[in-house]
């Protein structure tokens, strides 16, 4: 792309009901795909973005009927964040369930759910690019970059609000499969330990069990003991950052392949069994249909790479 290509003209966008309540900075990031957030904040600060002909701050929440002036942005800037077509196609093939309100994706391991921290794009940017006809597409919850499995997105704001209500009220069921270190004693074990983010350890941001942190509850159930490892199911009542990983390590059973909270010797043994990633998979999701009757149940099969690790462990039994 020619970096000296002419910039497009400013345009006016009328906010509809699906965009009502969205922050102006997030709205601009949505329609100016690939433009760095720093540039978006700069044009807001300089007054190049106008809502109903007036200046607004980044935290301004849009109202139905607002007229937003979107300033010209160089074509080269927009294309810088373009997602490769093969990745878009891969994600489209990974859709597990979809209707007029929601989309559930089997997120691949190694792909972040959104851009940031040096990443030009993630799942949400790829799906927005491959579905330009959708005026609204937002993440309902998040998964760690290395975690695979069920990821829920909303296709309109009423659905997003309804699903966030379910999350807050504990009415959404999220089940994970994890391989942990050590022989698991007993069947079910519940962990209720508050978690605090941004604990710095060796210059790296971490999450730690801390009395001053936010409430977090995880319920672990044994699926199968596999020598010096165990396959467990984890059901979470809350969705804190790194919750399963930190709670598992807290009770002496760190996750396989976890380079933040795991055990180096155990991880080395699991690598010898073929494990090349964090063994954490969001295997099932259940939630109330937004604005309708009944529940939606979606499951994501365990990837072949993780199945092969389990088969290797079973053979040593």
Angle in degrees, 0-180, between the axes of helices 24-31 and 37-45, rounded to the nearest 10: 120
The H-or-E segment that residue 269 falls in is: helix 264-272
Assigned token pair, 200: 């710095």
CA distance 71 to 43: 8
Q: Is 181 helix (H, G, I), strand (E, B) or coil?
A: strand
> Residue 171's Cα: distance from chain center in Å?
19
Just list the catalytic residues: 144
- Going by the DSSP 8-state scheme, the letter that residue 247 receives in this structure is H
CA distance 237 to 69: 42
Check if the beta carbon of residue 236 is closer than 8 Å to that of residue 250.
Answer: no
Check if the beta carbon of residue 140 is closer than 8 Å to that of residue 154.
Answer: yes
């Amino acid at each position: 792309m020619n970096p000296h290509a002419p910039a497009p003209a400013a345009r006016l966008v009328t906010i509809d009901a699906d965009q009502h309540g969205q922050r102006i900075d997030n709205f601009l990031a949505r329609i100016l795909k690939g433009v760095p957030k720093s540039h978006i904040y700069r044009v807001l600060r300089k007054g190049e973005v106008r809502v109903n002909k007036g200046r607004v701050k980044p935290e301004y929440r849009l109202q139905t009927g607002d007229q937003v002036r979107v300033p010209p942005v160089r074509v080269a800037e927009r294309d810088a964040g373009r997602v490769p077509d093969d990745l878009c196609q891969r994600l489209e093939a990974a859709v597990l369930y979809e209707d007029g309100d929601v989309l559930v994706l089997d997120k691949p391991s190694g792909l972040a759910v959104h851009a940031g921290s040096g990443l030009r794009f993630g799942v949400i940017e790829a799906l927005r690019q491959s579905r330009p006809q959708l005026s609204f597409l937002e993440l309902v919850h998040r998964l760690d970059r290395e975690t695979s499995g069920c990821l829920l997105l909303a296709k309109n704001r009423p659905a997003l609000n309804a699903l966030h209500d379910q999350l807050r009220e504990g009415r959404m069921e999220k089940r994970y499969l994890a391989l942990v270190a050590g022989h698991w004693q007993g069947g079910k074990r519940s962990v209720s330990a508050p978690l605090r983010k941004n604990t710095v350890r060796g210059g790296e941001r971490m999450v730690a069990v801390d009395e001053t942190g936010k409430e977090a509850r995880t319920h672990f159930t044994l699926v199968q003991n596999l020598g010096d490892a165990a396959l467990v199911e984890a059901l979470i009542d809350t969705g804190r950052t790194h919750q399963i990983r930190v709670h598992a390590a807290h009770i002496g059973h760190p996750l396989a392949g976890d380079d933040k909270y795991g055990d180096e010797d155990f991880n080395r043994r699991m690598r010898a069994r073929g494990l090349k990633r964090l063994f954490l998979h969001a295997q099932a999701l259940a939630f109330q249909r937004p604005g309708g009757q009944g529940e939606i149940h979606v499951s994501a099969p365990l990837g072949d790479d993780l199945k092969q690790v389990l088969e290797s462990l079973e053979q040593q039994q």
